[in-house]
Each structure stands twice: as structure tokens, then as C-alpha cells.
Amino acid sequence: MIYRECGVFKPTYAKDMAIFPIPLDRWGIGVILFVAFIVVPVFPSGLWDKILPWSKDYCLSSIFVLFLIYSLATLGLNLLTGYAGQLSLGHAAFMAVGAYAGYNLSARLEWLPLPLVFLGAGLVTAAVGLLFGIPSLRIKGFYLAVATLAAQFTIEWVIAHVSWISGGSVLGTIDTPPMKILGRSIDTPLEKYLLTLFVVVVLTIFAKNIVRSKIGRAWMSIRDMDVASEIIGVSQFRYKLLAFAVSSFYAGVAGALIAFCYLGSVQINEFELLLSFWILGMCIIGGMGSILGSFLGAGFIVLLPIFINQVVRMTSGVMPSDFLSNLELMIFGGMIIFFLIVEPFGLARLWMTIKDKLRLWPFPY
């Protein structure tokens, strides 16, 4: 009774095709955006410290920004794997491309405004993704998954060894130049958070619209059965490569955000194979083929280590860090298996179930 579609009339086609046709969804999204854009920034930090065990600056710069960036990266992988059905194990490498492209653009072209730096980083990464997407036209399934590992290792090596890209230091360490938008410098945690949030919101709306357009339907047809979709006239060449390009674009922007808004100083080993697997794990836990799932999965994975740390600290005092990292691995691996067995569509499906329940609640008859 609380959440319902009935009584929502759509007298025009435009209303029928609205991005959130149900009023309650619109309200919900509005409240979330309001909290994220207005409430969090103006929330007094003194009160914040009393409620949560971490200070506001720490929350903003270490948890929220990381969550948003991982969500963006997961969203990109979800478009490729969850919607277009092409399993990729090289996502972290594309993030690296974005980070280094963003650095080079802003360091070499100092007049370039920051939004264009992010856009450029995304476009460069999209081009690289397109290149490594070419094998998907010939090979598929596991052969393709392993072939995407080629992207991971090749890109890692190229960035580390070509000094024109990475500045020539051993691990390819780069320090991002200070950020400026319209003459206003962005250096406090709050400003970085707002910048990241803005980019993520814009790209999320973009993704949401892609997947409900012709392109998204073509991707889903390829995912469900590529031979059949080719026969009904969906160009595999165009849409597979487009999926790789768009997915890499998201990864690239996420990588640039990591470099500029999260770490400030990046080394190539931030983007090793393990990160690719973590992002794939977020994708699975959140829900394959779901925009919302990308956020839920990323939130889960970002909060998990913090949560484990807190629980262990509360129950048994100090633990060796070896033990903690092993425990984290076990829980992460166990979670992936658990979700695949119990809920193959991830946390997003849980939300669907809740919605179904809410439709009837509190009068289930």
C-alpha cells in the first residue's frame, strides 16, 4: 500500500517513458540527492563526531569519496558485464589509463579546465578500451575473459615503463596538480567530495538512460544470446565495441577521480589485478545488470573492512594485521559464493523483493 504503481496514470508518451515513472521513486531519489548534496555538507562536524566514531573529514575523504568512485567503476563494469555480457578482468587497468591520462592532460595542458580533463581522461580510456575490445569480435566466453587479462598486464607494463606517461619514476608515481574550477581551487575534503558526487550523479543518469535506450536493449540481446541477436540484425561489431568503449570511459573517469580526488598521489600498483577482481566482486554482490546494484555492491565492499575492523576491535582488542587481512579475504570470497548460491542477482534483487513486499504491506491480501 505504501509503495504502489496503481493510480499512477500516464496520459502522454513522454510521461510513460520518464526515467522514474513512479512518484515514490522520484521522491526517494530526491531525498537521497538532497541528503548527499545539502545535508552532508552543512551537517555540523561537532555533532557528526558525537554520532559516528569517525570525524567528518575522515568520513568524507576516506569513505564517501572511495564509495562513490568504486560505485562509478562498478557501474562501468556492470554496463559491460551485466548488460552486454562480456566478462572483463582488466577493469583496473582501464582505471589506471584514466588516472594517468588525467594527470598528463592537466600537467601538459595547464589551461585545460578540470571538467575537460576528466572528460579527456574518459575518452582516452575509451579509445584504449576499444582497442582491447577488438578480440571480443572473434572470441567469447572464458577465452575472452582471459584475453582481457592481456589488457591488464600490457597496460600495467606500458604505464610503468614508458616514462613519457608515468614521469619515469620506478613505480610510476605521479602527483596530481592542484585542481581548479572557474578560478576556485578544490582542496578541502568537502569540495573533493562534492566534485566526485557531481560527476558520479551525472554519469549515473547517463548510464540509466543508455540502458533503457536502443543501445541498452541491443546489449542485453547480445548478453542473452549473441547468435540470435546477430540474426535479428543487431550489429555485434558496433555494440560489443561500444560496450567496451563506454565501460572503459566510466573506468577512466573513476581512475582520474581516484588520482585527483582520493589519493592525490598515485602509483601503478594501485591498479593491479586484485582491484579488477574486487570490482567484479562488487558487481556480483551488488547485482549484475543493475544500476542500483553497482552502488549497493560498492557500498558493501567499502564498508566491509571498516565493519570487520570495528567488530574485531570491540570484541577482542588488538589483532595481528595478518589475521585481519586473511579474515577479510575469507569473508569477501565467502560472500561472493554465498550471493551466487542464494541470490544470483545480488543485493539489487533484495531491494526488488522488498518493493514487492511493500506493495502489499500492511494489508497482505
On whether the CB atoms of residues 282 and 70 are closer than 8 A, the answer is yes
In single-letter form, the type of residue at position 155 comes to I
Check binding of 168 to other proteins (CB under 8 A). Answer: no
Neighbours of 131 (CB within 10 A): 15
Give the contact letters, 339-358, x = binds to other proteins (CB under 8 A), - = no.
-xx--x--------------
Q: Which of 34, 307, 323, 361 binds other proteins (CB under 8 A)?
A: 323
In single-letter form, the type of residue at position 97 comes to V
Check binding of 141 to other proteins (CB under 8 A). Answer: yes
Q: How far is the CB of 328 from other proteins (least distance, A)?
A: 7
Q: How far is the CB of 35 from other proteins (least distance, A)?
A: 33
Check binding of 143 to other proteins (CB under 8 A). Answer: yes
Q: Nearest 5°: CA angle at 75, between 301 and 134?
A: 120
On whether the CB atoms of residues 62 and 193 are closer than 8 A, the answer is no
On whether the CB atoms of residues 37 and 194 are closer than 8 A, the answer is yes
Q: How many Å apart are CA 183 and CA 151, to the nearest integer?
A: 38
Interface with other proteins (CB under 8 A), residue total: 46
Check binding of 330 to other proteins (CB under 8 A). Answer: yes
Comparing CB distances to other proteins, the nearer of 12 and 321 is 321
Q: What is the CA radius of gyration of the chain?
A: 21
Comparing CB distances to other proteins, the nearer of 204 and 276 is 276
Q: Which of 231, 314, 318, 364 binds other proteins (CB under 8 A)?
A: 231
In single-letter form, the type of residue at position 355 comes to K
Check binding of 170 to other proteins (CB under 8 A). Answer: no
Neighbours of 267 (CB within 10 A): 17
H/E segment holding residue 186: strand 184-186
Q: How far is the CB of 327 from other proteins (least distance, A)?
A: 7
Give the contact letters, 97-136, x = binds to other proteins (CB under 8 A), - = no.
--------------------------------------x-
Comparing CB distances to other proteins, the nearer of 20 and 157 is 157
Comparing CB distances to other proteins, the nearer of 206 and 277 is 277
Check binding of 273 to other proteins (CB under 8 A). Answer: yes
Write the DSSP string, 304-325. Answer: HHHHHHHHHHHHHS---HHHHH
Q: What are the phi and psi torsion angles at 266 (to 5°)?
A: -120, 140
Show the cell assigned to 252. 577512466
Binding site for other proteins (CB under 8 A): 87, 135, 138-143, 145-147, 149-150, 153-154, 156-157, 160-161, 225, 227-228, 231, 273, 277, 280-281, 284, 322-323, 325-337, 340-341, 344
